[in-house]
Amino acid sequence: MIAARAKRSMSLAFVLVTCSACGSGRALNPFDPSSVGGAQNRIRIEVQNLNFNDVTVWAMRQQTQRIRVGRVTGKTDQTFTIQWNLAEPISFRVDVVGLRSCGTGQIAVDPNSRVWVTIPSNLGLTPCRAGRGTPR
């Protein structure tokens, strides 16, 4: 009787494990970079806008493709999180509506990197800066 009860318990455990493995969600496509390691490919971008004007921040991929990060109101700070292919360095372009724009150099990023961008108060006379870790 004990052996039969143990056998049923083990059979039930096997069925539960098998069913939970079957319904684990959608399959990942190894050729789609957005579906592989989604949480690992996220980077956090902290933007500090020292200018009075509102700006639009763009993430640049090899100076040819730009991805809109977001809009930052004048004299405020904002944090964004975006998906990024970690094999490629990131750079930024900052556009001020009706005024000048500026760009930053390329920065290598790691999984869950924290990147900062600073827009100067006198845009055009002082360059925009970007880096990893804590802003200088």
Can you give the pLDDT of all 136 residues of the chain as single tens digits? 565 565 565 555 554 544 444 444 455 554 444 555 556 689 999 999 999 999 999 999 987 899 999 999 999 999 999 999 999 999 999 999 777 899 999 999 988 889 999 999 998 889 999 999 866 5
Instruction: Name 22's Cβ contacts closer than 8 Å, sequence gap at least 6.
Output: none
Q: Rounded to whole angstroms, how far apart are CA atoms 38 and 124?
A: 37
Residue 131's H or E segment, with its range, is strand 129-132
DSSP annotation of 36 = S
Rounded-to-integer distance, Cα 125 and Cα 99, Å: 13
User: What is the set of domains in the chain, with CATH numbers?
Assistant: 42-132 (2.60.40)
pTM confidence score:
0.70
From CA 77, how far away is CA 57, in angstroms rounded? 12
Helices (H), the chain: 2-22
In this structure, the chain runs to a length of 136
Task: Round to whole Å and give the CA distance between 105 and 93.
Answer: 10
- Tokens 């700070």 — which residue? 77
